[in-house]
Chain A
């Protein structure tokens, strides 16, 4: 899928021919919200690639356009300038709120995603069952979203996101509203599922420790307008722990850079 500044979305006819082709290629992308005197530059000349199977965390203070970036990569919005290439087709997107449909059961939510992609009834049932088992929600398939806790809802949303089997997952602060203990467990869970299934992940967060815990690579965005100002590779072996000294050291480094970036906006 290619999204251009003019809003055209083109599904690629030819299959990805070479193995090194990135899963996501963001080329010199700018995004302006509004127009005239009210125009706000959200993103300015962002260039960013995500390799197949790579876990990239984008961190930044508020106003860095992290969510805008994900909307653009998901094809929900068109960039003002530049192009975005996602050769594997529309990536699956997950939000801070679970955004499960309250009128469907947990299984129904997962099955709807499959139904909209033309998967037959029997296969839908089977795949939803398998996905809910993978996120440890097999016993809650017939419940409605409001009958689950926040962490369980995020796991259900993760199952729905994985249902599409897209080569790229986009995650917009998916654990931002959870308590620390639930969040730590979901980090373990996400890491496990990612290693099993191998999608590329573009994960947006303002939580630096979370980024150090999860990422292969951390990308720091500046604020107003958003630009890539720094990136670093994280080579800590997996599975990781959020309270390990390695993770803490990386988080401290990223925090220092982030503070510097935020200070530029002060008096």
Chain B
């Protein structure tokens, strides 16, 4: 094939110029990416506006005198209550206990969810047997597990962990299963064609291709874990070990709705912050893959 005769049409140089001209034209239309700061600010202001509206509605209800002040305090009073409790040692130790349980439970759920998800997506019999059961498990309110968990583990960390894992693992497993199921078949074919076999196919093709779905499963699993944990801490109180959920119950017993609401806001905030972290990871993947619309 060597020794091309003098080409009557496009020479190699012409071809290169044609292609690079066409490339430049086709890429020119692509939208320029906005700066990171502009994106963050753009996403932030609607949230801040919604928050301001919620606080306003709360204040209006308080002003209307629907309930006496000591039962339903206003936003300003609760903000002062927050300043009371947050610097205390009890609060710090409650946050530490709750976060330790959340991290342990979520990590355990992630391991179990992964193993389960991979097993179900790989083994046909398991899929037939467990596929729908995993989804069914997800619809079971986690608080309904507590009576049994308490009988099995008494009022211990074990009871809480048991329910947190049961709450979060199915969502994580479903994320893995969906991820593996929806790997585009053409990517698997290409992977096999370029030499990825067996575990290599999983490592280089299936795992990265299912990453977005796995992250979505982890995000949902976190939401379930956090809800289960709060339910657990309300029911399973362990002496001399304050926890966020338990403190809610303590303030309720003291009819201290000021600090109760302050604590609820803390619980909400922790959940939101971690959800936002997963959201960041998710957005980073979508950016890299070009899955963002536009």
Given contacts A95-B186, A101-B187, A144-B289, contact A116 B22 (CB under 8 A): no
Q: How far is the CA of A102 from the CA of B186 in the complex (A)?
A: 13
Q: Is the CB of A144 within 8 A of B186?
A: no
Q: Is the CB of B18 within 8 A of A113?
A: no
Is B10 an interface residue, CB under 8 A from the partner? Answer: yes
Among B42-50, B164-172, B203-211, the stretch that binds chain A is: B203-211
Q: How large is the interface on A (under 10, 10 to 19, 20 to 34, 35 or more residues)?
A: 35 or more
Q: Smallest Cβ distance from B205 to chain A, in angstroms?
A: 7
Given contacts A90-B193, A116-B195, A151-B26, contact A195 B289 (CB under 8 A): no
Among B1-9, B145-153, B221-229, the stretch that binds chain A is: B1-9
Q: Is the CB of B208 within 8 A of A103?
A: yes
Q: Is the CB of A239 within 8 A of B194?
A: no
Q: How far is the CA of A32 from the CA of B193 in the complex (A)?
A: 22
Is A164 an interface residue, CB under 8 A from the partner? Answer: yes
Is B15 an interface residue, CB under 8 A from the partner? Answer: yes
Q: Is the CB of A195 within 8 A of B194?
A: no
Pick 17 A–B contacts, CB within 8 A, sort by A.
A90-B195, A95-B189, A101-B208, A101-B209, A102-B289, A112-B204, A113-B195, A145-B290, A147-B30, A150-B26, A151-B22, A152-B23, A155-B19, A164-B194, A188-B9, A189-B15, A189-B19
Q: Is the CB of A93 within 8 A of B190?
A: yes
Given contacts A95-B186, A101-B205, A185-B18, contact A117 B23 (CB under 8 A): no
Q: Is the CB of B193 within 8 A of A116?
A: no
Q: Is the CB of A116 within 8 A of B200?
A: yes
Q: Is the CB of A146 within 8 A of B289?
A: yes
Q: Smallest Cβ distance from A86 to chain B, in angstroms?
A: 13
Is B124 an interface residue, CB under 8 A from the partner? Answer: no
Q: How far is the CA of A54 from the CA of B1 in the complex (A)?
A: 11
Is B100 an interface residue, CB under 8 A from the partner? Answer: no
Q: Is the CB of A76 within 8 A of B192?
A: yes
| Chain B residues with a Cβ under 8 A of chain A | 1, 4-5, 7-10, 12, 15-16, 18-20, 22-23, 26-27, 30, 184, 186-187, 189-190, 192-196, 200, 204-205, 208-209, 211, 288-291
Is A8 an interface residue, CB under 8 A from the partner? Answer: no
Q: How far is the CA of A144 from the CA of B15 in the complex (A)?
A: 24
Is A225 an interface residue, CB under 8 A from the partner? Answer: no
Is A181 an interface residue, CB under 8 A from the partner? Answer: yes
Closest residue on chain A to residue B184 by CB atoms? A99
Main secondary structure of the interface of B (DSSP, over half): helix
Q: Is the CB of B26 within 8 A of A149?
A: yes
A81-101: contact bitstring with B at CB < 8 Å (1 yes, 0 no)?
A: 000000000101101010101
Given contact pairs A136-B16, A185-B19, a sample of 15 additional A-B residue pairs in the complex whose CB atoms are under 8 Å apart: A71-B189, A92-B193, A97-B186, A102-B290, A103-B211, A113-B194, A146-B290, A147-B27, A147-B290, A149-B23, A181-B22, A188-B10, A192-B15, A195-B4, A241-B9
Closest residue on chain A to residue B18 by CB atoms? A185
**B204 cross-chain contacts in A, Cβ below 8 A:** 112, 116
Q: How far is the CA of A56 from the CA of B166 in the complex (A)?
A: 58
Q: How far is the CA of A197 from the CA of B2 in the complex (A)?
A: 9
Q: Smallest Cβ distance from B20 to chain A, in angstroms?
A: 6
Q: How far is the CA of A164 from the CA of B18 in the complex (A)?
A: 27
Contact of A196 among B1, B20, B209 (CB under 8 A): B1
Closest residue on chain B to residue A97 by CB atoms? B186
Is A74 an interface residue, CB under 8 A from the partner? Answer: yes
**A237 cross-chain contacts in B, Cβ below 8 A:** 5
Q: Is the CB of B22 within 8 A of A182?
A: yes
The list of the 4 closest CB pairs from A to B, nearest first, reads A146-B290, A149-B26, A116-B195, A113-B194
Q: Smallest Cβ distance from B33 to chain A, in angstroms?
A: 10
